[in-house]
Structures are given as C-alpha cells and as structure tokens.
Structure 1
C-alpha cells in the first residue's frame, strides 16, 4: 500500500477552493485522515475526511478536486441529518441512500463543469430527472444495487468501521454540530454574495441550497418592521428628518437653503442566546439560524446587533455583523433575566430584545422597557410571561 501523497491531495483541495472560492471555508474545515479501509474518500459527521492513499496516487488532481467538493457537499447539505429523518425502511439500506445522495450532488457538480472519476452516480443512470433532492431519488434507486463506493457516515448517517468517534482532544477531534451549522451558513452567505457580484457565476443547485439554508424560521422582517414603528419614539411614522444627508431638492434652491432629507431608522437589537446545559447541539444550531435571520434585517453594513451568550450569567457579549462572529460560551445553569438586564444596561440600550431559549428559565417579574420577543426552541418549551411576544422554533 502506498503512503498518502499529501502534497498532491492538498494541491487538489487548493485547486477546488480556487475554482469555487465560496466553498473554501468548508473545504479547509475538513480534517484529513489517511485510511486504508476506504476505497476512495469518505467523511464522517464531524467533518473528518478519510482518504485512501492508493486512490490519491491513481487519480488526477482535477478529479481529486471534484471529489473534495463532492465530499464537502455531503456535509454542507446535512445529508446525514436528513437521512435520519427518512422512513425506517429506507434507513436500513445505507448504500441505496448514499447513491441517491451522490445523484443529488453529482448532477450539480457536472453541470458546473467539474471533473469527477469514472463510476460516478448520476440520476440519468436510473432514469431519474436532474435537479432533485436525494429524498426524491431514493424510491427510484434499486435496493442494494452493485455499488462499492461508500461516502461514509457524514453522508448516509450509519457509523463506518473507519470512523474515529467523536473525541475532541487530539488533532482529529473534528467539528461540533454548532460549528458545522456556522460553516453551512457562512458558505451560504458566500454563495449569495458571489451570485450578487456576478450573476451566473454560481450554479443553480448551490444557489437554491444557499437560499433554503439562509431562510429563517421566524418572520423577523415583520417583527423588526414593527419595532421600527413602535420602539423609535422620535420617529413619527417610522421616519425622521436629518441634515446629515441633505435633500436632493436643495440644489434647486441655489444653495441658500439646505433642506433635510427623510431617514428611516433601524432599531438597535440585542439577541440573548440561552447557552445553558439544557440546550443541546441541535437547539444551539437552531438558535444560530435565527441569529442569521436577525442579522439579515439589521446587521449587514452596520453595528446594530449585540449577541449575548447567557446561561446563569452572561458569558460573552459582542456586536456582530456575521453569524461566524457569534461566540456561544456557557453550559451551566439558566437565567435569561440576567441576559435581558445586561442587554438593557448597555450604553445604547436596544429597542428590541430577542431571547432564543428552550424556555426552562426564570423571567423578569415585570414587563421590560423595550419590545421583547421570545423564540422558544423545541415543541415542549414552557411559555414565557404573557406580556412577551412569543414564537416557537422546531429544530430541523
């Protein structure tokens, strides 16, 4: 058995990231683990990429670059999480699921002009249409067809013999579920930005994935529009006059009079994230998704959103403009009252406070001095006080 040609493998990853820069963060998050138990390359749910030395030796760099993107796509698209939501009868045949997942990925990659090794799975091989999701493909895939390839537990969700486990102390500790969710959203934002810069530069499959990933569960647009009207006391009708940017009619007056222009203020927002021990990885990932929704409305291009990580005490505070700047420290007891009070004690208090929690917490005894939205994570979350505006989030 040959020794892994790491230089060739890294050159292929660099080529993949250079060709598709919006995938670079995901590609470089993958930890390389040489393995003679895999036939090609495979991933686990902790973003470790198991690589067969013989496969690297026998495969051209252009095709290795395509395989890098293929394996990253399994994790970005949360294939292992989605596989666990399939009917029990389908879950028993992991290779059939893997083929359907490969069909979902490969038709996008081939349409994007990427090279993949021979023997790849495509929808047309099974008489299936392109552009579908693997859940739609599974019924059209024969039960346990001849297929020697296995993309690993990061794809079909079933632990593989080569998996290292979840341990985190060594260099191959991998990525946590919360970090994985942040990587997905960071990649989705990069895809959206790339598409906005140059229309047609991002394939349709990736664009659709990015839009679905970035779509928040909560209707933040409606909530924050209400906050603009109600919380900014000086803004009659949600607008005010300002001389910072003179009216466009000023030149018509010969410069003798400077007219003010109308300004629509954005509210200051504080997001208190419950990071107590009762919040699991899926709960924190759901919370992170909703932070993205808030940032999309008021955080881009400004410094309007403060995020407070809070268990029984405030563990981290930061003003953020991107979800990857959020630090979810904590893990102890629970008291969201502490986080709410800390948010309101800021030099520039928020007009709206959003609390993301499983609801197992004390609350302030009286209504607070701003608009409070409580996003309850989980179907069994206890109700907050009646004076708080409440929405429910079910982790995906």
Structure 2
C-alpha cells in the first residue's frame, strides 16, 4: 500500500485556501483520514476527508487543491441533508445522486478556473445546461452509470463501507457545521462587496444561507392554521343545544357554549399586472390549505377584485372560480366588500402582487397577504405577509 504523502496533500489545502480565502475556514475544518475504500477523495457527514494515497501520489498539487474545494463544497451545500429529502427511489440510487451533485459543483469550479482532474463530470457530460441545482440535474442523469463517482456519505447521504461512522473521531457536530456554513457565506458576500468575484452558484448559495428562503406553502399553512385557531376561540352562547347544567335547574333552560367554524374570504387581485396562471395556481394552493384545516363548502367566499369588486363567488373548489377584471388595483375595495357582506369573514386572504393601497388600520379580522412576484412591496405590519414564489 502506498503511504499517504501528507506534505503534498496539505500543500494542496494551503493552495486552495490561498486561492479561495473565503473557503479557508471550511477547508481547515476537515480532518484527513487515509483510506483504501475509494479511488479518489470523499467526505462523510461528519466532515472527515477520506483520501486515497494512490490518488494523491498521481495528481499535482494544483489539481488536488481543486478536489479539496470540490469535496468541501458537498458539505457546505449540505448535499447529504438535501439528499435525505429526495424520494426514496431517487435517494437509493446514490450514484446518480452523486453525479448530479458533482454537476452542481463542478460547473462553478470550472467557471472559477480551478483545474479539476480529467475524470471530472460536469453538466455538459450529460448534455445538461449549467447553473442548476443537483435536484434539477437528477432527472437528466442516465440510470446506466456511464461514469462512476464516490464522494461519500457527505455527498449522497448513504453510509459507505470504510467510513468511520457517527462515533468516529474527530467529527464536526451539526451545530458547528451550520456555523461554518454561515461564516463561509458571510466571507463570500464580503469578498463580493470588496469587488472580488465568485461563480454565480457560490453567490446564490451564500445569499440563501444569509437570507434563507422558507417554503411559502408551509408558511401559508401555518398562518391559516393560526388564524383558524384564533377565530375559533371566539366562543358564543346558543340555545340550539341546552347547557348540561339545565337539568339541575327545574324550569330553567341555560345556553351552551358554541365554538364557531371561521368564515374565510379570499380576495384575488385580477388587475392587469397579474397573470391568470399565477392566480389560478395560487388559489388552488390556498383552497387546498383551507380544506386541510377543515374549512370548506359555504364557509369560503372568493372575491375577484381590481379597482372594484368584479365578482363574489361561494366555492367548494378552486376550479369553480372565474377570474375577471383587468383594470387598476385597489385591494381595499375587496377587503371592505368582504367585511360588509351578509356573513362577515373571520379571516381574509388577499392574493396580489402587492402594488395596491391597503386599509389604513386593522379591519377587525385577520388579514393574510399572499404576495406574488419577484419583488413585492411590503403591506402594513398588521397584515401577515407571505412571499409566494415559483408559480
């Protein structure tokens, strides 16, 4: 067995850190483990770098430096965590997952001028466009493995024979790994502010770490659930069902407490700035959320509104709504019309691009604004705003 040339390997790490100083903290967090279970270099979930001595001996320092960057990129981009969220069938085919992840990383490294070994894969290897995430590349990776890669469980997420496992030492805890990612993201953004350049993939990753995007569907579901709980807490008395204590009082009928099921109004911005496809998709999501929390049938009213209310519809499903309008934008009209209806809502959900006047003060019911589009202006602070993207 070839002895590991640590001098060459650590010289490559030093070179990588000097060339890309914003990655230095992450590079030096890796601990080196000589290994024969893989042909190149790979990482596990615990920030251990497994190194084939033959691979180190057969490549120049410049290429080894690029491989250092490649392997730490798997960990910084949380590839193993993202792989855990794949469908079981995709996750089980870890070689395809690994190839897709390498495509995500290597197009950035090649654009950055790093000399990766000739055996590398990149999006062009499979006829794919650069600049995508590995989840997008996965469908374009063939199931017949024309290329073999093994970057370890720190990439595809599945255990690999020869790795030390969770109890092996040294290891980087998850909390420390998250801190390393944030520090690296801050360093990348500072590098760009200082007029340095980084590949687009690294910059997008840094921006996402600094300002993480929360799935709007989850936020919308949470907001509606919270509003339903709030509205359902408004109890009232009813004589339709006598209170249980009436039996103890002869000749006296006591009312019982009633917890009403909330009514919901959905006000849809149908002005000329809003696309019907976006609105229809978003309305389907909202009505799905309402059904999930138990609000359906005649408890939901939809108002199509631009500068005036164009239609008021009772719906049980999104497909029943016919969107109309196309003029200016004033969601105040729709909110006010909903409030002054024969059965005022407890919750108002407004779907708009945000370029509208808003009521000057709270309207007596919970208002949730689903803001559609790339850069919507913020509504007043008493309105719960959720930025809806990807429609």
Q: Decide which structure has the larger Cα Rg and report it.
A: 2
Task: Check whether the contact 1:83–1:157 (CA below 8 A) recurs between aligned residues.
Answer: yes
SS in structure 2 at match of 1:50: strand
Q: Does residue 108 in structure 1 map to residue 108 in structure 2?
A: yes
Alpha-carbon offset, residue 147 of structure 1? 2.6
Separation of aligned partners in 1, 2:115 and 2:147: 20
Aligned to 1:117: 117
1:71-110 CA-to-partner distances (Å, cap 9, x unmatched) read 0000000000000111111111000000000000000000
Aligned to 1:165: 165
Mean Cα displacement is larger for which, 141-150 or 100-109?
A: 141-150
Separation of aligned partners in 1, 2:144 and 2:187: 37
Aligned to 1:194: 191
Aligned to 1:60: 60
Separation of aligned partners in 1, 2:156 and 2:59: 24
Separation of aligned partners in 2, 1:161 and 1:144: 22
Separation of aligned partners in 2, 1:216 and 1:38: 34
Alpha-carbon offset, residue 203 of structure 1? 1.8
Aligned to 1:179: 176
Separation of aligned partners in 1, 2:167 and 2:205: 30
TM-score normalised by L of structure 1: 0.53
Q: For 1:1-396, what aligned pairs fall within 5 Å after superposition?
A: 1-167=1-167, 172-199=169-196, 201-216=197-212
Task: Check whether the contact 1:93–1:144 (CA below 8 A) recurs between aligned residues.
Answer: no
Separation of aligned partners in 2, 1:216 and 1:103: 23
SS in structure 1 at match of 2:33: strand
SS in structure 2 at match of 1:116: coil
Task: Check whether the contact 1:94–1:156 (CA below 8 A) recurs between aligned residues.
Answer: yes
Separation of aligned partners in 2, 1:5 and 1:152: 21
Separation of aligned partners in 1, 2:135 and 2:61: 31
SS in structure 1 at match of 2:50: strand
TM-score normalised by L of structure 2: 0.54
Backbone CA RMSD of aligned residues: 1.6
1:113-152 CA-to-partner distances (Å, cap 9, x unmatched) read 0000111111011110000000000000011413332000
Alpha-carbon offset, residue 217 of structure 1? 6.1
Moved segments of 4+, more than 2 Å: 146-149
Alpha-carbon offset, residue 167 of structure 1? 1.6
Separation of aligned partners in 2, 1:160 and 1:190: 32
Q: Which ranges in structure 1 are unaligned for 5 or more consecutive residues?
A: 219-388, 392-396
Equivalenced residue count is 216
Task: Check whether the contact 1:166–1:173 (CA below 8 A) recurs between aligned residues.
Answer: no
1:185-211 CA-to-partner distances (Å, cap 9, x unmatched) read 000000000000114x22221111100
Separation of aligned partners in 2, 1:28 and 1:161: 25
Task: Check whether the contact 1:45–1:75 (CA below 8 A) recurs between aligned residues.
Answer: yes
Q: Which ranges in structure 2 are unaligned for 5 or more consecutive residues?
A: 215-381, 385-391
Aligned to 2:306: none
Task: Check whether the contact 1:123–1:129 (CA below 8 A) recurs between aligned residues.
Answer: yes
SS in structure 2 at match of 1:56: helix
SS in structure 2 at match of 1:32: strand
Task: Check whether the contact 1:192–1:207 (CA below 8 A) recurs between aligned residues.
Answer: yes
Separation of aligned partners in 2, 1:161 and 1:65: 25
SS in structure 2 at match of 1:55: helix
Task: Check whether the contact 1:80–1:155 (CA below 8 A) recurs between aligned residues.
Answer: yes
Alpha-carbon offset, residue 38 of structure 1? 1.2
Separation of aligned partners in 1, 2:96 and 2:144: 6
